[in-house]
């Protein structure tokens, strides 16, 4: 059987790749994609903990389902916002959207 820590390390690596994408990408759609990667990493953790530590009570799987539902809502609203911003500013580069700064 695969040790629990392998799953946790793969999830941590996926989370940090997503973190890097959020902090370093220019494009707002790419930032959203990196956020989805981070949510997936969290889901792997939830399911791995359920499977290894408490397989008789499926709280981890249930929360993973809620995370998927929230991620779907987040992607829909986020992409709608990006399209709306693109329409008014003609750009989706996150650095150029700075009108709240001044």
**Cα gap 71→65, rounded to integer Å:** 10
Least Å distance, CB 97 to other proteins, is: 12
* 61, 98, 99, 102: residue in contact with other proteins (rule CB under 8 A): 61
Min separation Cβ 39 and other proteins, Å:
9
Q: Work out how close the CB of 101 gets to other proteins at its nearest, in angstroms, rounded to a whole number.
A: 15
Q: How many residues bind other proteins (CB under 8 A)?
A: 71
Q: Is the distance from CB of 79 to CB of 32 less than 8 angstroms? A: yes
Q: Restricting to residues 13-42, name those near other proteins by CB under 8 A.
A: 13-21, 23-27, 29-30, 32-34, 36-37, 40
Q: Tell me if 89 contacts other proteins by CB under 8 A.
A: no
Query: Are 50 and 7 a contacting pair, CB within 8 Å?
Result: no
């Amino acid at each position: 059987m695969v040790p629990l820590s392998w799953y946790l390390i793969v999830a941590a690596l996926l989370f940090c790749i997503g973190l890097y994408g959020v902090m370093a990408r220019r494009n707002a759609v790419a930032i959203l994609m990196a956020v989805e990667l981070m949510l997936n990493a969290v889901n792997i953790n939830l399911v791995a903990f359920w499977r290894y530590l408490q397989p008789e009570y499926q709280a981890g799987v249930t929360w993973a389902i809620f995370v998927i539902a929230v991620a779907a809502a987040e992607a829909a609203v986020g992409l709608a916002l990006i399209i709306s911003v693109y329409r008014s500013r003609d750009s989706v580069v996150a650095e150029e959207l700075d009108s709240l700064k001044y």
